Amino acid sequence: MKPFRALAVAGAVVFSLAHIGSPDTIFEGNAGPYPIRVVVRTPGVVPGLADIVIRITGGPGGVKRVTVLPLRGGLPTVALPPPDTARAVSGDPNLLSAQLWLMSFGAYSVQVTITGDAGEGKAIVPVNAVATRRLPLERGMAIGLIGLGLFLFIGAITIVAAAVRESVLPPGETPDTSRRRRAWIIAGVAVVILALGLAGGRSWWSAEDSAFQRGIYRPPPFSTSVRDEGATLRLAFDDSAAFRRGWSPLIPDHGKLVHLFLIGATDRSMAHLHPRAIDSLNFDAALPPLPAGTYHLYADLVHETGFTQTLADTIEIGAPRSAAWRPTDPDDAWHASPEDAGMRWDRPATLKAGDQLDLHFEVPGKALEPYMGMAGHAVVARDDGSVFVHLDPLGTIATSAQLVYELRQPGDTVRGRLGRRITEQAASTHAAHVEGHTVSFPYAFPKPGRYHIWVQVKSGGRILTGAFEAEVS
């Protein structure tokens, strides 16, 4: 019997929005003549307040004003409020901050406008505005609200009883038995009315809470399976009707509908694959001869609305097949060697969670070429699988999501129309001009721990993968 690769689901499916465990959106690029880095920290609830941090990283100088504006669906409308002005952070004239309310669920973009001596420049930063959690009510706040409610309830009953008993009496006259009895009866009626009001309020609040919980982001149901005696990995969306009803069509990012990553749970093995679309709901990729073991699986998707998401799973891969691997896509690559392909990492002196960094890598003696439209791509993953992010030199954003907001027109109401135009223009709009033998990625590690970093570049028509480790304090 030929050896074959067995793949089985080893854990429950988990999910996130545009990466796993790394919620900040990071963009590094240009707003006209002004080079900038923008970090958007979304609140995790909707409506919610997002924190925006903008750093002017160079350029002509003379910046006079920086504004930020949330655009639902990417386009301004007459109903939008005026933009918010970002304020300089004390001690750093090139660092500014602002806050924006994200009021509706779905895909947003933050428009950053810079005005200065060199004129005006704008940049679009795509973000997702969705609820990913339900905020708990703190114990101290709950006790305080219960105490205040009892005080108001008892106070209202007392006021009603006093009004019935004494409000029409002449000054100094004492209420008789009949008036006191009537006060008690009316107070009892008030108790019933207020109790019904409280019950109605509780019912309304429960309905609002249930509606909010129903609106918490949930990914489309999907499954992974192995076919062709272990040679092919299939990613399938299980409920076609629900997927078509709830999600807009997929659009390519860096020319690929799906970026699928397999990362070894116990070693530095990694595969970056681009499955072929069998139809609109099923995608196949040839499995490379990775070492047997447990793997974390991640799949990056971008929708025509600009909404991005990362699906995740845990799988077991058996012994490699003896047949030679034939990649599904020319840009597919895998890595299982402890060597770093001759790459060097200009490692910062300290790696601290939350610090904004430039992950700078060098490939000595190799002239780099564009790899899927960029100087390079990087994958950052925590060793327990709780953090995963796919980076390019622009940061964590999906370039096709940015194109959604840049190219959308008022007539793009037919499903698939905008996606086709993005596909046609993506290559020329985001084609990278690559020079030299270095590549850099903006990033901030979200939490302490041990991380693995894989850097992929192209030189001489070959995809080179470097593997590195990082201990983040």
Q: 395-411 pLDDT, tens per residue?
A: 999 888 888 887 776 66
- Mean confidence (pLDDT) of the chain: 84
Do 239 and 175 belong together in one domain? no
Tell me whether residue 263 is in a domain. yes
Rounded (5°) CA angle 194-197-199: 110
Q: Is the pLDDT reported for residue 9 higher than 70?
A: no
Strands 84-85 and 63-72: antiparallel
Question: Of 329, 353, 377, which residue is a domain's last?
Answer: 329
Q: What is the pTM of this model?
A: 0.83
Q: 25-80, pLDDT tens digit by residue? A: 999 999 999 999 999 998 888 888 899 999 999 877 789 999 999 887 655 554 66
Q: Strand, helix or coil at 161?
A: helix
Tell me whether residue 384 is in a domain. no
Give the CA-trace dihedral at 121, 125, 126, 131, to 10 degrees: -130
pLDDT of residue 426: 59
Q: Are 262 and 454 in contact (CB under 8 A)?
A: no
Residue 93: count of CB within 10 angstroms of its CB: 10
Tell me whether residue 359 is in a domain. no
Question: Of 97, 129, 161, which residue is a domain's last?
Answer: 129
Q: 445-457, pLDDT tens digit by residue? A: 999 999 999 999 9
pLDDT of residue 1: 35
Do 171 and 92 belong together in one domain? no
Do 274 and 201 belong together in one domain? no
Strands 270-273 and 106-116: unpaired
Tell me whether residue 354 is in a domain. no
Do 119 and 183 belong together in one domain? no
Give the CA-trace dihedral at 399, 404, 405, 407, to 10 degrees: 110
Question: Of 84, 104, 129, which residue is a domain's last?
Answer: 129
Q: Which among 12, 47, 27 is positioned nearest to 131, based on CA atoms? A: 47
Rounded (5°) CA angle 419-420-421: 90
Tell me whether residue 2 is in a domain. yes
Do 29 and 119 belong together in one domain? yes
Q: 91-119, pLDDT tens digit by residue? A: 888 999 999 988 888 888 899 999 999 99
Do 89 and 187 belong together in one domain? no
Place of tokens 């990071």: 26
Q: Strand, helix or coil at 215?
A: helix
Do 324 and 224 belong together in one domain? yes
Residue 15's pLDDT band, with cuts at 50, 70 and 90, is: very low
Do 179 and 231 belong together in one domain? no
Do 206 and 237 belong together in one domain? no
Q: 240-261, pLDDT tens digit by residue? A: 776 766 677 888 898 898 999 9
Q: Which among 291, 232, 289, 286 is positioned nearest to 266, based on CA atoms? A: 291
What is the C-alpha to C-alpha distance for residues 429 and 399, in angstroms, rounded to an integer? Answer: 10
What is the C-alpha to C-alpha distance for residues 182 and 443, in angstroms, rounded to an integer? Answer: 72
Do 71 and 151 belong together in one domain? no
Q: Is the pLDDT reported for residue 425 higher than 70?
A: no
What is the C-alpha to C-alpha distance for residues 298 and 301, in angstroms, rounded to an integer? Answer: 10
What is the C-alpha to C-alpha distance for residues 145 and 106, in angstroms, rounded to an integer? Answer: 33
Tell me whether residue 381 is in a domain. no
What is the C-alpha to C-alpha distance for residues 269 and 19, in angstroms, rounded to an integer? Answer: 19
Range with the poorest average pLDDT among 70-74, 183-187, 301-305: 70-74
Domain count, the chain: 3
Question: What H or E segment, with its residue span, contains residue 144?
Answer: helix 139-166
Q: Is the pLDDT reported for residue 5 higher than 50?
A: no
Tell me whether residue 397 is in a domain. no
Residue 171's pLDDT band, with cuts at 50, 70 and 90, is: confident
Q: Which among 238, 270, 273, 240 is positioned nearest to 256, based on CA atoms? A: 273
Do 198 and 226 belong together in one domain? no
Q: List the domain range (segments joined by +) for residue 166.
A: 139-215
Tell me whether residue 459 is in a domain. no
Do 201 and 252 belong together in one domain? no
Q: Strand, helix or coil at 84?
A: strand
Q: 189-244, pLDDT tens digit by residue? A: 999 999 999 999 999 989 988 888 877 877 788 888 777 777 788 898 887 776 76
**At 245, which CATH number?**
2.60.40.10
Q: 463-473, pLDDT tens digit by residue? A: 999 999 999 99
What is the C-alpha to C-alpha distance for residues 402 and 406, in angstroms, rounded to an integer? Answer: 6
